[in-house]
Amino acid sequence: MSVAAPRVWSVRIATWNCNSIRSRVDRAVALLERHDLDVLALQETKCKDEQFPLQRFTDAGYEVAMHGFSQWNGVAIVSRVGLADVSVGFEGMPTFGEPDAAAEARALGATCGGVRLWSLYVPNGRELGHPHLAYKLAWLDALRAAGSSWLAADPDLPVALMGDWNVAPTDDDVWSTEFFEGKTHVSPPEREAFRGVVDAGFADVVRPFTPGPGVFTYWDYTQLRFPKKQGMRIDFCLGSPAFASRVGGAFIDREERKGKGASDHAPVVVELQP
pLDDT tens, the chain, 274 aa long: 434 444 445 899 999 999 999 999 999 999 999 999 999 999 999 999 999 999 999 999 999 999 998 888 999 999 999 999 999 999 999 988 776 766 789 999 999 999 999 999 999 999 999 999 999 999 999 999 999 999 999 999 999 999 999 999 999 999 999 999 999 999 999 999 999 999 999 999 999 999 999 999 999 999 999 999 999 999 999 999 999 999 999 999 999 999 999 999 999 999 999 8
What range defines the domain where residue 140 resides? 11-272
Q: Give the full edge-to-edge strand order of the sheet including 203-204.
A: 84-88, 107-112, 115-121, 159-164, 235-239, 203-204
Give every strand in the sheet of 39-43, ordered side by side.
63-69, 72-79, 39-43, 11-17, 268-272, 247-252
Contact between 214 and 175 (Cβ < 8 Å): yes
Distance CA 211, CA 99 (A): 41
For β-strands 203-204 and 159-164, DSSP reports them as unpaired
**Within a domain: 224:** yes
Looking at the domain assignment, is residue 71 inside a domain? yes
What's the pLDDT score for residue 9?
59
Residue ranges of the alpha helices (H) in 177-254?
177-180, 188-199, 241-244
For the chain, how many structural domains are there in total?
Answer: 1
Calpha distance 63→31 (Å, rounded): 16
Which residue type is seen at 137? L
Looking at the domain assignment, is residue 3 inside a domain?
no
Q: In this structure, is residue 2 part of a structural domain?
A: no
Instruction: Quote the CA–CA distance of 197 and 194 in Å, as a whole number.
Output: 5
The answer as to whether 4 is a domain residue is no
Task: Please report whether residue 6 resides in a domain.
Answer: no
> What is the CATH classification number for the domain harbouring 91?
3.60.10.10
Strand stretches in 122-246, DSSP E? 159-164, 203-204, 235-239
Is position 18 within any domain?
A: yes
Asked whether residue 129 is assigned to any structural domain, the reply reads: yes
